[in-house]
Homo-oligomer: A and B are copies of this chain.
Amino acid sequence: MPRLDDVARAAGVSKATASRALSGADGVSPTTREKVQRTAADLGFRASGAARRLATGVTRTIGVLTPSVDRWYFGSVLHGIAHAADRHEHDVLLYDLGAFGRGGHEKFERFMLRGEVDGLVTITWSLVGGDLTRLAELGVPVATVGEPTPHSRSFSLDDDAAGEQAAEHLVRLGHTDLLHLASETEVQPFDASSSDRRKRAFELVSARHGLRMRPVQTVPTTLEAAHAAARGILARADRPTGIVAGTDEVALGVLLAAHQLGVRVPEELSVIGVDDVPAATAFGLTTIRQDPAQHGEDVVAWIISALGEPESEPDRSHTNYAPVLVVRGSTAPPP
């Protein structure tokens, strides 16, 4: 493995000049630079990342903290992050907190504060507020995607609007008896969680249009749990004419239960979700679309730009993505 020194010697210049020539710094004549670059290429030179980061303190790596990686939303965000990171020539270091089990905090200590990354994105409630501010004080740009936080720059779907659009869609179709099946968030986040926001929005719409007031039900975010809950709801004689699900996964569970109980969708029951997961297309599920991969792209873009201007005012603004209604076959006027 050739070292910078070898390149320099072969090109007849000093290490200093070779370094400048290769890193693109100025203060090198075009001819010298060209010569150094060619020699480096010929020798198959590849700068040692370790040496560079020791010297500069820059890792060209961004860390991602995620509650888990095998769920659609998280996976999609991660995909967007990887894509953007690649474009900006950064590596991504993955911390799957779900994989850490108990003691995520300790890991946070051990790994994150070691200066291995120069930017960090946390997906939803991966970290508590204290950690976030601590990190920010450390000078590492931190951003959150999936839920608004007061402690860091954040990116997420406008959950209020999403909840409202979902409910309003059914109201416009003529429904007056709706039920909201919220999907549970595992951990209490800083602010009102996505789930809570969607729920509140639903209640607002309910009140505004004088709908029948049914208590909101909450289920874990799994097809299984949603399915079980939906069976209970749909089996009753006074079931609602429409269900606003907090998530597509929950909505799919409802669809499944409806099918098994012989409740026809959308003739007898309307169902709407939030997310627009791939399966939603095949199932003809009407839903509120969000694009997590885009969130991932944007959060990286922000981090890169924040890296470019250190010492600036901490940016704690929040980007609210507009939800878009996608009408498919699972919603119709009530019977």
* A46 contact from B51, B113, B222, B279, Cβ within 8 A: B113
- Contact B69–A96 (Cβ < 8 Å): no
Known contacts A53-B50, A92-B94; is A82 also within 8 Å of B99 by CB?
A: yes
**Chain B residues, CB < 8 A from A53:** 50
Question: What's the nearest-Cβ distance from chain B to residue A296, in Å?
Answer: 9
Q: How far is the CA of A122 from the CA of B121 in the complex (A)?
A: 24
If over half of A's interface residues share one DSSP class (helix, strand or loop), that class is named, otherwise mixed; here it is helix
Please give, as numbers and ranges, the residues of chain B lying within 8 Å of A64 by CB-CB distance.
94
Kindly supply a per-residue 1/0 record for chain A positions 99-121, scoring 1 wherever the CB is within 8 Å of any chain B CB and 0 otherwise: 11100000100110111100000
Interface 9-mer from A17-25, A73-81, A189-197, A313-321: A73-81
Beta-carbon contact of A51 and B54 below 8 Å: yes
- Asked if A78 contacts B69 (CB within 8 A), the reply is yes
Contact of A69 among B82, B99, B115, B223 (CB under 8 A): B82
CA distance A110 to B49 in the complex (A): 11
Compute how far the CA of A300 lies from the CA of B47 in the bound complex, rounded to whole angstroms.
27
How many copies of the polypeptide does the oligomer hold? 2
A133 contact set on B, CB distance < 8 A: none
Candidates B46, B57, B96, B111; contact of A83 at CB < 8 Å: B96
Partner pick for A111 among B47, B91, B111, B253, CB 8 A cutoff: B91
Taking a contact as CB atoms closer than 8 A, the residue among B76, B83, B116, B223 that contacts A49 in the complex is B116
Query: Which of A53, A86, A283 is most buried by chain B, counting CB atoms within 10 A of its CB?
Result: A86
A282 pairs with B253, CB closer than 8 A: yes
A278 adjacent to chain B (CB < 8 Å): yes
Q: In the bound complex, how far is the Cα of B88 from the Cα of A107, in angstroms?
A: 12
Partner of A223, one of B51, B111, B282: B282
Interface positions, chain A 43-77, Cβ under 8 Å from B, are 46-51, 53-54, 57, 59, 61, 64, 68-72, 75-76
The distance in angstroms between the C-alpha atoms of A307 and B12, with both chains bound, is 38
Write out the residue numbers on chain B whose beta carbons fall within 8 Å of the beta carbon of A99: 79-80, 82-83, 86
Known: A50-B53, A54-B48, A222-B278. A82 touches B96 (CB 8 A): yes
Interface presence of A310 (CB below 8 A): no
- Other-chain contact of A70, B57, B75, B92, B283 (Cβ < 8 Å): B75
Q: Inside 8 A of A101's CB, which chain B residues have their CB?
A: 83
Residue numbers in B under 8 Å from A54 (CB-CB): 48, 50-51, 54
* Residue of A99, A111, A113 with most chain B CB atoms under a 10 A cut-off: A99
In the docked arrangement, what's the CA distance between A256 and B256, Å? 10
| Docked complex: A141-174 residues within 8 A CB-CB of B | none
Question: CA–CA, A69 to B224, complex, Å?
Answer: 23
Q: Knowing A48-B115, A78-B69, A283-B256 touch, does A93 contact B96 (C-beta < 8 A)? A: no
Task: Give me the interface of A with B, judged by CB distance under 8 Å.
Answer: 1, 46-51, 53-54, 57, 59, 61, 64, 68-72, 75-76, 78-80, 82-83, 86, 89, 91-96, 98-101, 107, 110-111, 113-116, 222-224, 227, 252-253, 256, 259, 278-279, 281-283
Q: Closest 10 A-B residue pairs measured CB to CB?
A: A82-B96, A83-B99, A70-B75, A82-B99, A50-B53, A50-B54, A223-B282, A227-B282, A94-B94, A224-B282
